[in-house]
Amino acid sequence: MVNDSSIASLAAAELDGIAAPRTARVRVVHTDGMWRVLAMEHIGHGELILEIKGVLVDQPSRYTVQIGEGVHIAPAPGRDDPSRGDDPPSYPWQFLNHSCDPNAVIAGTNLVAHRRIDAGQEVTFDYNTTEYEMATPFACQCQACGDGGSLIAGFRFLPTPRQREMYPRLAEHLRRKLGGSGAT
Ligand SMILES: [Zn+2]
């Protein structure tokens, strides 16, 4: 369950114009053959990890996050090639890996801790909670899946019972696909 009050207070703190940019709570690193977003500090359940910022596009790609019906956030073109040493990247969120048992969830355009995350842990979210139909489906190899990973292709391809079970973690545009049923 997302803790709205802590999100609101963090957002308010940022709006109050703390002079220096708040230290990034995460860092993008290349380890075990892929880019990962790692927590740089303890992040409590319900706390804001980062904001999903970028340019709005109407088509998904492997680098976008869906935030509405036909609305996706993409990194601005030509930015954030970590192999070039862009550190810290402007769009760390594009390096978030999928997990079927994630420790973060996307609420609006905020990435929020879904449970306690320790410093050094990888931050993940479930792509099926934001993406209706993914541009580049893949066979999941997350820890929850192991070797017999399921195909991650987007919310529309999940069995209905699974869709309903995911309701509390779903982005608003996917909740609407369920017609509001399953609401708590
Ligand atoms: Zn998985």
Domain that holds residue 127: 4-177
Query: What separation in Å is there between the alpha carbon of 183 and the centre of ligand 1?
Result: 25
Is residue 183 a part of any domain in this protein?
no
Instruction: Give the whole-angstrom CA distance, residue 75 versus residue 73.
Output: 7
Q: What is the CATH number of the domain that holds 19?
A: 2.170.270.10
Q: Which of 107, 129, 144, 112 is nearest to 39 (CA)?
A: 112
Query: What separation in Å is there between the alpha carbon of 97 and the centre of ligand 1?
Result: 10
How does pLDDT run across 91-135, given as a tens digit for each residue? 889 999 999 999 999 999 999 999 999 999 999 999 999 999 999
pLDDT at position 158, please?
95
Is residue 130 a part of any domain in this protein?
yes
Q: Which of 9, 13, 30 is nearest to 85 (CA)?
A: 30
- Residues of the chain above pLDDT 90, percent: 63
Is residue 72 a part of any domain in this protein?
yes
Is residue 100 a part of any domain in this protein?
yes
Is residue 107 a part of any domain in this protein?
yes
Q: Which residues are CB-neighbours of 124 under 8 A, at least 6 positions away? A: 96, 97, 98, 99, 102, 103, 104, 142
**Angle of CA points 132, 135, 139, to nearest 5°:** 90
pLDDT at position 85, please?
53
Number of domains comprising the chain: 1
Is residue 182 a part of any domain in this protein?
no
pLDDT at position 52, please?
94
Q: What is the model's pTM? A: 0.81
Least confident range of 62-66, 88-92, 113-117: 88-92
Query: What separation in Å is there between the alpha carbon of 82 and the centre of ligand 1?
Result: 25
Is residue 15 a part of any domain in this protein?
yes
Instruction: Give the whole-angstrom CA distance, residue 128 versus residue 183.
Output: 18
Is residue 184 a part of any domain in this protein?
no
Query: What separation in Å is there between the alpha carbon of 5 and the centre of ligand 1?
Result: 30
